[in-house]
Amino acid sequence: MSAADSLNEICTLRIELCHSDPLIWRQVEVPTSITLKVLHEVVQAAMGWFDQHLWEFRIGQQRFGLPMDEDWGTEPRIEAAKVRLREVLTPRRTVITYLYDFGDDWEHRLILTNIRQGEPGIGYPHYVAGEGNAPPEDCGGIPGFYDKLAIAADPAHPDHAEIVEWLDDYDPRTIDELQTKIALGRIAKRRNSAKARISKRST
């Protein structure tokens, strides 16, 4: 495969927030040429997270993430910025676990399918669809998230007013699709600049 072809290859990425009910998910088309570090950025953008915590990918027995001194007491990780997505993909379907915030433990299931050539004129990563607003950061993980929603829905609960104020205008049903597309568009723009440099070198 030529450098240009490999840059134009994409796949479908479905992101599922594990243990959410109803399921919170996103579907994005992503280039297979991105590094796992950029895949992390794509998940952050698609879900609306703020990239304020530690994270890692797990593929089988291997872990990928940021280089950390002594790995913070955890198992060693392969540096995510040095591994491209296409290097870990299998032909039909690849499942990757993505863990964000080692305190709240937001576990995501990434399902990658349908490797193919991208369409001309579309910037990738490209938002396709989704359901459910990702929980607010630092709310105590899945248990804390649903506890807060239950308290907010119960005016008789002694902590009702405090939790309503803490949640502010959070709506669990609404995705800010415009912000999601803008955030993914920034990644696509950066990637397009890299593609242009490669094309210029090859002419």
- Show the domains of the chain with their CATH numbers: 3-133+175-202 (3.10.290.30), 136-171 (no CATH)
pLDDT, residue 135, reads 98
**Residue 9's pLDDT band (boundaries 50, 70, 90)?**
very high
Closest CA to 6 of 81, 112, 85: 85
* 14 vs 27: CA distance, rounded Å: 4
Residue-level pLDDT at 6:
72
- Confidence at residue 69, expressed as pLDDT on a 0 to 100 scale: 55
pTM, whole model, 2 decimals? 0.92
Cβ-contact 87, 80 below 8 angstroms: no
Confidence of residue 74 (pLDDT cuts 50, 70, 90): low
pLDDT of 200 strictly over 70: no
Per-residue pLDDT at 188 = 96
Supply the pLDDT for residue 191.
84
Give the integer Cα–Cα distance in Å for 93 and 101. 26
Q: What is the mean pLDDT of residues 87-101?
A: 97
The two beta strands, 106-117 and 93-100, are antiparallel
**Residue type at position 47:** M
Sorting pLDDT into bands at 50, 70 and 90, what band is 156? very high
Q: For residue 37, what is the DSSP state? A: H
In angstroms, the Cα distances linking 39 to 73, 164, 178 are 24, 33, 20
At residue 199, what is the residue type?
S
Q: Look at residue 5 and tell me whether its pLDDT is greater than 80.
A: no
d(CA 85, CA 78): 13
Q: Report the pLDDT averaged over residues 22-39.
A: 98
Helices (H), the chain: 3-8, 36-47, 141-152, 160-167, 177-202
> Of the ranges 4-13, 23-32, 55-64, 140-149, which one carries the lowest mean pLDDT score?
4-13
> CA-CA distances (angstroms) from residue 147 to 34, 75, 194, 203?
37, 32, 45, 58
Q: How does strand 24-31 pair with strand 126-131?
A: antiparallel
User: How far, in whole angstroms, is CA 17 from its chain's centroid?
Assistant: 10
As a whole number, mean pLDDT of residues 60-89 equals: 85
Closest CA to 138 of 164, 162, 179, 167: 167
Distances (CA, A) of 174 to 66, 104, 133, 134, 169: 31, 22, 5, 9, 11
Which tens digit of pLDDT belongs to each residue from 95-136? 999 999 999 999 999 999 999 999 999 999 999 999 999 999
pLDDT value for 193: 75
Residue with tokens 């955890």: 74
Q: How far apart are CA 33 and CA 53, in angstroms?
A: 25
Average pLDDT score over residue span 152-174: 97
